[in-house]
Structure 1
Amino acid sequence: MQVNRFAGLASGMDTESIIKDLMRAERYPLDRLVQKKQVLEWQRDSYRDVNKLLTAFSDLTFDGVFRQATFLKKTVSSSNDSAVSAKAINPSGNVSTQIEVSQLATSEVWVSADDPQFTSGERTLTFNVTKPGESEPTEVKIEISANDTLGDVIKRFNSSNFGVTIFEDRVGEKSHLVMTMNATGVGAKIEVVADEDGSNSTKDFMEKLGFKFNNGVLENGPKGKEGKNAKFTINGYETERTSNVFTINGIEYTLKNTTEGKPVTISTANDTDFIFDTVVKFVDEYNKLIADLNGRLQEKVYRDFKPLTEEQREDMSEKQIEMWEEKAKSGMLRNDSIISGGLNQMRLDLYSTVELADGTKLHLADFGITSSKDYLERGKLEVNEDKLREAIANDPNKLYELFNGTPGTTKTSFEKQGIAARLRASIKSVTTNIEARAGNNLRTNHQFTLGRNLIDVDKQIDRMQERLKRLEESYWRQFTAMEKAVQQANQQSAYLMQQFGGF
């Protein structure tokens, strides 16, 4: 209902200011509800920040100390890196290998006769291509457009799945095409495929370019070369490969030159630095995590600093608002039971014995990782670097078992679980409980506790705003009625004065 408002025209009163002051007192409960809503939103956001921290640490644990590959990491050295280099892929243990290289693998090369004769025109070239080391050919089709030049055709070959590289070699007035199989080794074979009508347009096209065929099989030509396998002796055993790069027992070897009868020694060792750095990073990130969580649990609550109302914000600078809200947001998760319970469980996860399948019992302290003696640091881990490096050099697998238990066994009991497995399970439990209370970006407010509280507060705010609207309209009606009455009285007074003035 629209209220006709007369702001002190008759009475001379500042009606609008009076009603504003009256409503300010009435709005106090609404301000409290708005502040309550803001606190709930801050709590929700604080919980979600904690979940992000926990998830990030769990992911780091999974990608680091949870993976067996971390503790199998090897360094590889070569006595002659210019002849043979190597890197560890997935070795089962440390090795020392003697390798002699008598021949490097080379690619098959086909060379055309001089001065290829190129005829433009739209066509489809069809080949059966057998690459070195393969027993079955692969059909390859190359589409040539009507306006393609010889250079365009070369680009189409090179960008296709043909597996070759072609270039035109021009010397003076003469030129020829050189086609090289990208893969090295013996056994490369290129055959042309006849058309459905029995003709062979592919063979005709290639012959015009200067290539020769024997029963449909491309010949190398006088200047071409057959591919060769790499030949080498490893620990006294003679063998060969189609490629100069191959893997044996988890070590990837790269042959670069022949060794001229001088063996090259390839040795592996535990990558102590990598394993050490991974464990130290785990410790550092754990320390950062618990420092952050402990800080939130102990954060001071400033009860005199409530969320600011819009009216209060209008009277403050941005810097004042920032400083105020810093205190208002403080202590959102002080003494929170979910977080404190999670921290206690994580400490238990770390310091409890890990029992292996053979009965061996492992502790963090066995590897130089202990809890800080300063109780104010609340469970911060410290690393004895010398002891940790020694443990890694002696048996990195034991360190892996500390974090993950015995590989291949059913981990049904807490004692047989490794530290990393325990931590990730505990973190999962905490994040699940937090999501039940504070949700996540994929949940609606109906699906978590604080969200439902926010819905209830929003409903109260709506009801309060409607009540205040009606109350304000009521005040305006009353003051408007008063103004009309005053105006009428003034009119009557003026009339009487006019009448009396006639006598």
Structure 2
Amino acid sequence: MRISGFASGMDIDQMVSDLMKAERMPMNKFTQQKQLLEWKRDDYRDLNKLLTDFRNLSFDMTLQRTYSQKQVTSSNTKVSAIASSTAANASYTISDVTVATAASNSTSGFVTSGQTLESSKGLWEQRSKFTSGDAMSNMWTTKTVTQDDITIAAETNSIKLAKGAIDAASINGNGEITVNIGGIDKVFTVTTDTSEADLTDSQVLLDENTGILTFKDPIATGSTVKGFNYDHFAFEFSMTTYNQLGEAVDETFSLDGTASMEDVMSKINASKLGVTAFYDEQSNTMMVTKREAGTFKGASATAEIEFGGLFLTSVVGLNETNEQGGTAAQVTINGVTTTRNSNTFSVNGVTFTLNQNMSGESAVISVNNDTDKTFDAIKNYVEKYNELITKINEKTSQAVYRDYKPLTNEEREPLSEKQIEQWEEKAKSGLLKNDSILTSGIGQLRSNFYEPLSGATGAFNQLAQIGISTSANYRDGGKLVINEVKLREAIQKDSASVMELFTANGADSSSQGLARRLRESVGTTIQQIEARAGNSMRTNQQFTIGRELLNVDKRISTFEMRLQQKEARYWRQFTAMEKAINVSNQQSMQLMSQFYNNG
């Protein structure tokens, strides 16, 4: 219990608070020191992200594909082409084109005239609509289903079995089921030709198509339909296609009688056969088409798409002899006639696509170096370098405002958000001024640009020779400028030498290409920054600023304990004073009382 000025009349709370403000001033220095360390760490990490991005871009600039992009033009839209970076500059004349066709097969008329086969409805339920009645009857196989006990969760007069397309006569071997109601077994006879209204108490109506059992009266909650066996109808069919190697690709499909034409199409389309199947119920037509044009079947094969099973061959009526297409492409390239199994094929790193038949005309395909893409890649690299050194120069040359310290919580309270933002902008300024890691890193990057490539085999061994030089304005801080005309001319004149200038892989720095040098230099700077400021994967113990933060936290914790002890001492002293004053007041009252009584 703390006595707060009852005897003295003083505001002890305010006095202790004011005393503690003075005592807390060193604590504010600790918290400001911690905030400055965190800001400095974050500044390092922001720059490290830029350095990492530039290092990754430098890796891309060491790859041949960056400088070997190809530009392909075609004089006729009926033939198109693309070229890989390894393709030689060349010209191809394409003529006498016959495009490859994809094999397809279709059938119609397998539904009885006047009937409509609903594509989303089960086939067994619609079996009477097919013209091939015998084949439809013969294609079905029966499979025995073991139905587990069914516990009635809520009172109902209907339940659904696991399967539809059921043979009612097969249920339990005798066409009966047993239901335990309130601990008493009751036997129901399964019927399929009685209406729900005419059911008796001992009958249950079965919808063979859906497997739904309907009772005359509701079955009570907690009752159990005892498990039984029954047969349901299923069917199978198969298909065979051929891949580009001429190898047979087989797949067999097994479906329940509840499967619809939509289910059949979906199974075929999702298979490994490489075909597309669809069914149009309006025209009663089913079509199967290979996704890839060309002919791939073996010598002994009868068709590109082969069918097996009564459903496809006898019920639907697909026949290999009706197959259309499945022909190879024929084309003349630079006077040489060749046959291809696809409309897309590659020659010497150039991929041609035959779009239409072409007779009596030709297409000229020209493959050349894509100067624009190489130019854009180098220009982008220089621009990213300029952005990087601009950001680092800004950080290392910022003014230091020593009078602007991080704000304490008490100092923030009377300020607006804008004022806080403006204050902290100055408080954060100059945290990395003249930082040794960053200044030495920038110096190394600049020297990499100036150093010529030792052992160059091409026409160029310095960036200045291809139009890249350092800005003459010292205020730019070593930024690079590009003479775009000169750079384009260099790429056109000797693109291999330009590539070597960036990508050469020598034993030492002088014989390495610029992109390799920069990547290594940036990597060294990144490691030094991580040793000082860490990254998201490191704990505070693993980098310098982190350890300094831990030390500040420890000092804050220790000082906080001292403040608590001092505050407790102040309260003890003021409490003792209050008690002494209270005793003095009581004694005065007693003396006054005695004087008054004796008077």
TM-score, length of structure 2 as denominator length = 0.76
Paired position in structure 2 for 1:400? 499
Q: Indicate the SS of the match to 1:11.
A: coil
- Which stretch of structure 1 is more off in the superposition, 277-286 or 297-306? 277-286
Paired position in structure 2 for 1:354? 453
Distance, in Å, in 2 between the alignment partners of 1:229 and 1:428 is 54
What does 1:316-355 align with in structure 2 at a 5 Å threshold? 316-355=415-454
Q: 1:353 touches 1:361 (CA, 8 Å); kept in 2?
A: no
Which of 130, 134, 140 does residue 242 from structure 2 map onto? 130
Distance, in Å, in 2 between the alignment partners of 1:272 and 1:106 is 37
Give the direction of change, closer, same or farther, for the CA distance of 1:262–1:361 in structure 2 (3 Å limit). Answer: closer
> Which amino acid in 2 is paired with 1:74?
K
Distance, in Å, in 2 between the alignment partners of 1:497 and 1:309 is 53
Distance, in Å, in 1 between the alignment partners of 2:235 and 2:500 is 63
Query: RMSD between aligned alpha carbons?
Result: 2.0
Give the direction of change, closer, same or farther, for the CA distance of 1:207–1:421 in structure 2 (3 Å limit). Answer: same
Q: Indicate the SS of the match to 1:315.
A: coil
Following superposition, the deviation at residue 433 of structure 1 comes to: 0.9
Paired position in structure 1 for 2:296? 187
> Which amino acid in 2 is paired with 1:264?
A
Q: 1:109 touches 1:220 (CA, 8 Å); kept in 2?
A: no
- Which stretch of structure 1 is more off in the superposition, 482-491 or 261-270? 261-270
Paired position in structure 1 for 2:251? 140
Following superposition, the deviation at residue 348 of structure 1 comes to: 1.2
Q: 1:220 touches 1:226 (CA, 8 Å); kept in 2?
A: no
> Which amino acid in 2 is paired with 1:325?
E
Q: 2:94 touches 2:331 (CA, 8 Å); kept in 1?
A: yes
Distance, in Å, in 2 between the alignment partners of 1:246 and 1:373 is 52
Which of 388, 391, 401 does residue 487 from structure 2 map onto? 388
Paired position in structure 2 for 1:465? 560
Which of 68, 75, 95 does residue 79 from structure 1 map onto? 75
Following superposition, the deviation at residue 170 of structure 1 comes to: 6.5
Q: Indicate the SS of the match to 2:358.
A: coil
Distance, in Å, in 2 between the alignment partners of 1:433 and 1:307 is 27
The reply to whether residue 429 of structure 1 matches residue 530 of structure 2 is no
Q: Indicate the SS of the match to 1:398.
A: helix
Distance, in Å, in 2 between the alignment partners of 1:124 and 1:450 is 71
Give the direction of change, closer, same or farther, for the CA distance of 1:122–1:336 in structure 2 (3 Å limit). Answer: farther
Distance, in Å, in 1 between the alignment partners of 2:380 and 2:558 is 53
Following superposition, the deviation at residue 177 of structure 1 comes to: 2.3
Paired position in structure 1 for 2:66? 70
Which of 5, 8, 13 does residue 8 from structure 1 map onto? 5
Following superposition, the deviation at residue 113 of structure 1 comes to: 5.8
The reply to whether residue 178 of structure 1 matches residue 173 of structure 2 is no
Paired position in structure 2 for 1:195? none
Distance, in Å, in 1 between the alignment partners of 2:429 and 2:88 is 53
> Which amino acid in 1 is paired with 2:2?
R
> Which amino acid in 2 is paired with 1:182?
R
Following superposition, the deviation at residue 61 of structure 1 comes to: 2.8
Distance, in Å, in 2 between the alignment partners of 1:112 and 1:499 is 129
Paired position in structure 1 for 2:326? 227
Q: Indicate the SS of the match to 1:434.
A: helix
Paired position in structure 2 for 1:216? none
> Which amino acid in 1 is paired with 2:62?
F
Q: Indicate the SS of the match to 1:27.
A: helix
Which of 247, 269, 274 does residue 158 from structure 1 map onto? 269
Give the direction of change, closer, same or farther, for the CA distance of 1:286–1:143 in structure 2 (3 Å limit). Answer: farther
Following superposition, the deviation at residue 191 of structure 1 comes to: 4.6
**Which 5+ residue runs of structure 1 have no aligned equivalent?**
193-201, 214-218
Q: 2:437 touches 2:528 (CA, 8 Å); kept in 1?
A: yes
Which of 12, 19, 23 does residue 26 from structure 1 map onto? 23
Distance, in Å, in 2 between the alignment partners of 1:363 and 1:144 is 71
Q: 1:355 touches 1:405 (CA, 8 Å); kept in 2?
A: no
Give the share of equivalent positions with the same residue, in percent.
43
Q: 2:106 touches 2:318 (CA, 8 Å); kept in 1?
A: no
Distance, in Å, in 2 between the alignment partners of 1:359 and 1:165 is 54
Q: 1:302 touches 1:327 (CA, 8 Å); kept in 2?
A: yes
Q: Indicate the SS of the match to 1:148.
A: coil
Q: Indicate the SS of the match to 2:356.
A: coil
The reply to whether residue 89 of structure 1 matches residue 77 of structure 2 is no
Paired position in structure 2 for 1:198? none
Which of 294, 313, 316 does residue 207 from structure 1 map onto? 313
TM-score, length of structure 1 as denominator length = 0.90
Paired position in structure 1 for 2:170? none
Distance, in Å, in 2 between the alignment partners of 1:236 and 1:74 is 24
Q: 1:112 touches 1:209 (CA, 8 Å); kept in 2?
A: no
Distance, in Å, in 1 between the alignment partners of 2:466 and 2:254 is 64
Following superposition, the deviation at residue 261 of structure 1 comes to: 2.6
Give the direction of change, closer, same or farther, for the CA distance of 1:212–1:307 in structure 2 (3 Å limit). Answer: closer
Give the direction of change, closer, same or farther, for the CA distance of 1:358–1:369 in structure 2 (3 Å limit). Answer: closer
Give the direction of change, closer, same or farther, for the CA distance of 1:14–1:168 in structure 2 (3 Å limit). Answer: closer
Distance, in Å, in 2 between the alignment partners of 1:220 and 1:492 is 128
Following superposition, the deviation at residue 361 of structure 1 comes to: 5.6
Structure (1 or 2) with the greater strand fraction:
2
